[in-house]
Chain A
Amino acid sequence: MGLLLLLPLLIPFVTAALALLTWRRRRIQRALALAGSIGLLVSALVLLLVVWRGGIQVVQVGNWPAPFGITFVADLFSAIMTVLGGIIAVAVVIFSHASVDSRRERFGYYPLLLFLMMGISGSFLTGDIFNLYVWFEVMLMSSFVLVALGNERAQLEGALKYVTINLVSSAIFLTAVGVLYSVSGTLNMAQLSVQLSQSRQPELITVVAMLFLIAFGIKAALFPLFFWLPASYPVAPVAITALFAGLLTKVGVYALIRVFTLLFTQDIGFTHALLLLIGALTMVTGVLGAAAQNEFRRILSTHIISQIGYMVMGLALFTPLALAGAIFFLIHNIIVKANLFLVSGAVYQLQGSFHLKKLGGLYRSHVGLSLLFLISAMSLAGLPPLSGFWAKFLLIRASLEVNQPVIAFVALGVSLLTLFSMTKIWAEVFWKNRPETAPAPKPLSTSVRLQLLLPVAGLSCLIVGIGLLAEPIFILSSQAASQLLSPAEYVTAVLGGTP
């Protein structure tokens, strides 16, 4: 049983180590990366099934009983996130085969990708706040190198900003962990949950909560801490940008949801009201920023920010329905966002540019790709019956149930502006005639075309699937949300017996 929980960490780790041993053997590394990501996905799915059937799963590493050792915990929310990580990893690895140049592949692209996946799974599954910091660093270190790999000028500049802001965020995170340890005397999240709820210094805990909000807010790109994202995400190879866009900011959101449901629930009137305000501002600034952009990847990158706002809104409303909505939104957004970036990468492979002015006419030459883009784009904007519609519907309904019509109005307005941005891309890249100066689409070999199309088509199927089979996903999300809202279950599972 214990091994199953650790497999999402061990599989990427072992395959990454093997890929390091086969340095410069591209073929073997590719196969290992594919095997590692598929293994991750399968083990995560099995884990989700086990958690669904048997409740929260716990492993005490080295058999040290909690709270002395490091604990790994999988509740439904962690398991869902790990599955999503696996899905995106598989799609990105297949896409990388066709889109990443051989120079990057020779310099350790695949091992880094696998280490990144290990860091992400670790962050989702750990039950120890300091261990969370360590997994964040594993993840960041690989992502630093992946952003800079290739040594292009824009990449180095973007990487410098990305590294700096993340190191500041890590320093704040570590500071917060230190202060938290001094007020509670523990690092185990389950015990922290118990200690903090009985604390006699609620003011100090709110201060620590704010430190965590800033640290995770930088990673998740919340208002007003999002400025680094549009400057650094688009510089990397598009497969990497897709992985970052799909997963890295969402790890920040995951951490926010985890600490603000499990640990910091003493002063909901203040913390969650602040989160609601931040969520609204994040949505609005993100979508307005995107409307001003004219580069495929930059439009999508800026949209990441506005979508983060929706998830924070779900957390801030703090009702079962709202949290279920936030989790549904995470499921939907991770897939859609990664898919949109993959489409932009496929367009780049065809026409050699990301600038809307230099693109055009793809609907005439590539109907299939255009329709796949349209599915993702309309889902992002929230058109029924696609996945985005249900996610937004849940959130807006939740906000109306607790009499917060303003946030519902903001969410709807932002949706409309998202639709505007997406139609702008559609009109410029796919619908309008190809500009005189633009080259004709390059003919691609069948295997390249297959490797580009397969992940995009697969993710698009998932998007349509989530839209058509919304009910099972909704039941899963609301189960996960109810687990999040009753920390007692988590605490008992980790500490055992009476907490």
Chain B
Amino acid sequence: MTIVLAFLVGGLYAGGLYMMMRRSIVKLIMGLILLSYATTLLIFTVGGLTRAAPPIVPAGVSEPPVPFADPVPQALILTAIVISFGVLAFAVVLIEQTHRSVGTDDSNNLRGIEGEL
């Protein structure tokens, strides 16, 4: 299972970066989304895949029976998902505004401050 997820994560990183290299700013956002998925899955995978072993401490003992699933990566993932949701929502609005004011979705036409010279 870990191998499958490893290839999936690699594929998502590659796909995300490829999409970001494209000229369309819509694809740029797609790339960012894929990249954030890749990161989330990576944390999940490197945290160790332990099935059907919740880290619940039985009464009278101070540690859960080994092996148990590590809850920390899941807490990290939850935080990361919330943050990337907010940030990506902002990014989508930003490209929408940019598209409206520049009138193109070709990133080659974005010349920023040089456009004013």
Contacts and interface: CB of A to CB of B under 8 A. Distances in A.
Interface of A: 130, 134, 137, 140-141, 144-145, 148, 151, 153-154, 156-161, 163-164, 167-168, 170-171, 174-175, 177-179, 181-182, 187, 231-232, 234-235, 295, 298, 355
Contacts of B110: 157, 160-161
A142 to B, nearest CB: 11
A175 B112 contact: no
Q: Is the interface of A mostly helix, strand, loop or mixed?
A: helix
Nearest to B25: A160
A178 B115 contact: no
A174 B80 contact: yes
9 contacts: A134-B83, A153-B101, A164-B20, A167-B32, A168-B20, A177-B76, A178-B76, A181-B72, A235-B112
B102 A157 contact: yes
Given A141-B86, A161-B112, A167-B87, A181 B98 contact: no
B47 A182 contact: yes
A153 to B, nearest CB: 5
Contact of B94 (A156, A168, A182): A156
B73 A178 contact: yes
B46 interface: yes
User: Most chain-B Cβ atoms within 10 A of its Cβ — which of A160, A164, A175?
Assistant: A160
B47 A181 contact: yes
B79 A298 contact: no
Contacts of A355: 117
A174 B43 contact: yes
B102 A156 contact: yes
A168 B13 CA distance: 11
Interface in B72-100: 72-73, 76, 79-80, 83, 86-88, 90-91, 94-95, 97-98
A178 B79 CA distance: 13
B72 A187 contact: yes
Contacts of B38: 171, 175
B19 to A, nearest CB: 11
A327 B111 CA distance: 36
B46 to A, nearest CB: 4
A295 B115 CA distance: 13
A160 B95 contact: yes
Contacts of A148: 94, 97
Given A134-B83, A182-B46, A163 B94 contact: yes
B42 interface: yes
Contacts of B47: 178, 181-182
A235 B101 CA distance: 15
B112 A154 contact: yes
Contacts of B39: 171, 174-175, 178
A17 B43 CA distance: 33
Given A158-B113, A171-B35, A151 B94 contact: no
Contact of A153 (B73, B76, B102, B107): B102
A295 B95 contact: no
B63 interface: no
Contact of A154 (B28, B86, B116): B116
B46 A179 contact: yes
Given A159-B98, A163-B87, 14 more contacts: A137-B83, A144-B87, A144-B90, A145-B90, A153-B115, A156-B97, A157-B110, A157-B111, A160-B25, A164-B20, A171-B35, A174-B39, A178-B73, A182-B48
Given A156-B101, A157-B110, A161-B110, A181 B90 contact: no
Contacts of B76: 130, 177-178, 181
A276 to B, nearest CB: 29
A355 B73 CA distance: 51
Nearest to A166: B87
A220 B11 CA distance: 28
User: Most chain-B Cβ atoms within 10 A of its Cβ — which of A144, A182, A231, A234?
Assistant: A182
Contact of A178 (B28, B43, B94, B111): B43
A490 to B, nearest CB: 22
B97 to A, nearest CB: 6
A65 to B, nearest CB: 15
B99 to A, nearest CB: 9
A168 B72 contact: no
Nearest to B75: A130
Given A141-B87, A178-B42, A160 B113 contact: no
Contacts of B115: 153-154, 157
Contacts of B94: 144, 148, 156, 159-160, 163
- Give the top 7 A-B pairs by smallest Cβ distance, nearest first: A182-B46, A178-B43, A157-B110, A156-B98, A157-B112, A171-B35, A174-B39
A159 to B, nearest CB: 6
A154 B113 contact: yes
B28 A164 contact: yes
Contacts of A159: 94, 98
Contacts of B48: 182
Contact of A167 (B42, B91, B98, B112): B91
A148 B31 CA distance: 21
Contacts of A134: 79, 83
B112 A231 contact: yes
A292 to B, nearest CB: 13
B101 to A, nearest CB: 5
A160 B31 CA distance: 14
